[in-house]
Copies of this chain bind each other. A is one copy, B any other.
């Protein structure tokens, strides 16, 4: 008999196995898996490319795995950023996934949120199934709803968080929507006392954008670990 596994347990299990070193571009990152039919690969990569260029993904590095009829695409999950902070000794806690309303290209607030420690169903699965996003709308007009997630860390770690985020950005790993000030709300969500909140774009915006473009995709978010050496820049694959 399988016990109930809440999403946070799955996340922390993967986080502790991450070995990514952004300076050396070595080690394992957390990846999401998108599965498409062979015929849809080119269109999917084109949508991914646009979405990455709109700043709605974590990294331009992807891995394409050819199979019979179906193709799997591994893309970076935003929890990789948290895992790297953790490996630098920052006690960062993933709180939840949700939808972020964007107005004139500015993220304004979370409109929906599911806490990781309180759901056995992946929040991203929930939100994509509900069809509440409007990622392509955001890309076209600057207004829409994108997938994002929220994390917390002790406020004294804020400088160190900035350093690690800077090192990650150098390695092409980005997607910070907001790093809050101590004890201040982040995109309308309160954080614990003496903590800072960090909102990141969901790596799953890629897959969700493909879905919005009527591409028949299956996806598994926060699915596994992939060594960065196996990933290529999407421009090499178009």
Chain A residues packing against B (C-beta within 8 Å): 1-4, 6, 96, 98, 108-115, 117-121, 125-127, 129-130, 188-189
Contact = CB atoms under 8 A, between A and B. Distances in A.
A88 to B, nearest CB: 28
Determine how many copies of this chain the complex contains. 2
A1 B185 CA distance: 14
A118 B121 contact: no
Q: Is the interface of A mostly helix, strand, loop or mixed?
A: mixed
Contacts of A113: 4, 6, 119-120
Contact of A127 (B4, B109, B115, B121): B121
A96 B118 CA distance: 9
A121 B110 contact: no
Contact of A119 (B3, B6, B114, B125): B114
Nearest to A1: B109
A98 B117 contact: no
Nearest to A108: B1
A187 B4 CA distance: 10
B118 A118 contact: yes
